[in-house]
A and B are shown apart, each in its own frame.
Chain A
Amino acid sequence: MVKNKIKVLIAKPGLDGHDRGAKVIARGLKEAGMEVVYTGLRQTPAQIVRGAIQEDVDVIGLSILSGAHEHLFPEIIELLQKEGVDNLLVIAGGIIPEEDHEKLHDIGIAGIFTPGTPIREIVDFIEKNV
């Protein structure tokens, strides 16, 4: 039988208009053999969660620069819970201050990767944790 591929949704919540970082991650994960659904800029939590459900992904990767993680991430996690999605790994990348990491871990963001993290590290984390 075909080995199940890891499927990842990369989303960019928030209003800032740069997605270079998100694209680099998406390409990196693809090169590591994953199937990566890239959804583009300015995604609302509802769009992200619905996308993750329809695509039945194993991982959601959230990329953020705008500092809006404080309210957007909890909103996404809550929506996932409300929709009964509980077997999914949520990771985040971008500019997220060190002091917020613990709080985000607590609500269910499994991994947080700051800019410049080697792609290999993210790949390893995903492979170990899905």
Chain B
Amino acid sequence: MERYFKGIKEGNEKTIAEAITLVENDREQGFKLLKKIFSETEISYIIGITGPPGSGKSTLTGEMVKDWLRTGVKTGIIAVDPTSQFSGGALLGDRIRMSDKVTDKNVFIRSMATRGELGGLNSSVFDTALILSAAGYERIVIETVGVGQNEIDIVNLADTTLVITTPDAGDEIQTFKAGLMETGDIFVVNKADRPDVIKMELMIKQMLEMAYGTETEWTPPVLTTVANRSQGIEELLQKIEEHTGYLKTGRRFYQKRKKVLEKQLINLMERILRENYIGRVLESGLMEEKIREIAARKLDPYTAAENLIKERGV
């Protein structure tokens, strides 16, 4: 544990990476390390970036980060991609758009799979952000594919959230959850080199109006970018600074962080319950027998669930 702690503090990339693996995979050891880190760490400013697959999130992230690095800001990137429900595997392709630009020693990129419900994803993303904060990364970007509730939950960890769309993503936007409209602090129509940009801008503005009404302290701006040609990046960075300034006024930042911590606390309790109770039931092999009894109507699922938890928990 000391080894991890020391390596993280020294900014040793190999140790940082191993610590992230540890907290992803081994709750007991991971918690030990995280407890020690948390008390000594101010969590860095987190920027969430979400939107449909292929909308240009990774490209945009690369562009933003390039700018921060130019001014010497140490930046961490956590890129989350979905785990396949069929195989349990995942294809993590976000480095493709980043690694050629981002060879700076001050950037750390980590790809993560959402894993199944039993993996405790949300808590791992927070934990990784905590480790990167402790290692001195002043700014952290979390990229997720914005499709489901799971992804909205991750984005909720962020202080400033960017929602990315493209001019041709009309159908996807229609299906965006209201929750996503409400978590977005800045909306970006990327691929503005394509037709129908203005139409998309208007559509988002209308959806925002519906979600917020007119009384709102922060009206999310809608920007346009062409990420692969570095267009619109300055304005985007400017808006991020503005939103940061807005958050840091009064008690807003404190309130936002409190919400994040509340979420994290719930995530952690769920993770403990899943691993200690449900996980143990699944491993015990008792399920099969119970299911057979239920199917034969010798047992009802309500009693079975209660008993399994009671018998198997710790």
User: When chains A and B are docked, how far (Å) is the Cα of A29 from the Cα of B88?
Assistant: 11
CB nearest to A47 among chain B residues: B99
Q: Which residues of chain A have C-beta atoms less than 8 A from B21's C-beta?
A: 56
A38 touching B13 in the complex, CB below 8 Å, given contacts A1-B275, A31-B84 = no
Q: Which residues of chain A have C-beta atoms less than 8 A from B109's C-beta?
A: 51, 54-55
Comparing B61-69, B90-98, B171-179, B293-301, the segment that makes contact with chain A is B90-98
Q: Does A81 have its Cβ within 8 Å of any Cβ on chain B?
A: no
Comparing B47-55, B111-119, B144-152, the segment that makes contact with chain A is B111-119
A contact face: mostly helix, strand, loop, or mixed: mixed
User: A37-81 CB contact bits vs B (8 Å, 1 = yes)?
Assistant: 111101100110011011110000000000000000000000000
Contact status B25-A39, CB under 8 Å: no
CB nearest to B17 among chain A residues: A56
B contact face: mostly helix, strand, loop, or mixed: mixed
Contact status B99-A37, CB under 8 Å: no
Contact status A56-B18, CB under 8 Å: yes
A52 CB → nearest B CB, Å: 9
Q: Does B279 have its Cβ within 8 Å of any Cβ on chain A?
A: yes
Q: Give the size range of B's interface with the partner.
A: 35 or more
Q: Does B20 have its Cβ within 8 Å of any Cβ on chain A?
A: yes
Contact status B99-A30, CB under 8 Å: no
Q: Which residues of chain A have C-beta atoms less than 8 A from B86's C-beta?
A: 31
A8 CB → nearest B CB, Å: 10
CB nearest to A2 among chain B residues: B119
Contact status B89-A33, CB under 8 Å: yes
User: When chains A and B are docked, how far (Å) is the Cα of A45 from the Cα of B120?
Assistant: 34
CB nearest to A9 among chain B residues: B95
CB nearest to A31 among chain B residues: B87
Contact status A37-B95, CB under 8 Å: yes
Picked from A1, A5, A51, A56, the residue with its CB within 8 Å of the CB of B95 is A51
Picked from B14, B91, B118, B279, the residue with its CB within 8 Å of the CB of A26 is B91
Contact status B95-A38, CB under 8 Å: yes
Q: Which residues of chain A have C-beta atoms less than 8 A from B275's C-beta?
A: 1-2
B235 CB → nearest A CB, Å: 28
A53 touching B13 in the complex, CB below 8 Å, given contacts A1-B26, A31-B84, A40-B99 = yes
User: When chains A and B are docked, how far (Å) is the Cα of A38 from the Cα of B88?
Assistant: 17
Contact status B113-A35, CB under 8 Å: yes
Contact status A37-B84, CB under 8 Å: no
Q: Which residues of chain A have C-beta atoms less than 8 A from B118's C-beta?
A: 2
Contact status B96-A38, CB under 8 Å: yes
Contact status B113-A55, CB under 8 Å: no
User: When chains A and B are docked, how far (Å) is the Cα of A46 from the Cα of B13?
Assistant: 14
User: When chains A and B are docked, how far (Å) is the Cα of A84 from the Cα of B18?
Assistant: 13
Q: Does B27 have its Cβ within 8 Å of any Cβ on chain A?
A: yes
User: When chains A and B are docked, how far (Å) is the Cα of A34 from the Cα of B21?
Assistant: 15
User: When chains A and B are docked, how far (Å) is the Cα of A85 from the Cα of B14?
Assistant: 8
Contact status B92-A38, CB under 8 Å: yes
Picked from B18, B99, B108, B113, the residue with its CB within 8 Å of the CB of A5 is B113
A sample of 22 inter-chain contacts (CB < 8 A) reads A1-B27, A2-B118, A2-B275, A5-B88, A5-B89, A5-B113, A31-B89, A33-B87, A35-B83, A37-B93, A38-B92, A38-B95, A39-B95, A40-B95, A40-B96, A51-B95, A54-B13, A54-B16, A55-B110, A56-B17, A56-B20, A83-B14
A4-B25, A37-B95, A40-B96 known; 7 other A-B pairs, CB under 8 Å? A30-B89, A31-B86, A34-B89, A38-B93, A53-B17, A55-B111, A56-B18
List of 6 A-B pairs having minimum Cβ-Cβ separation, nearest first: A40-B96, A30-B89, A56-B17, A33-B88, A33-B89, A56-B21
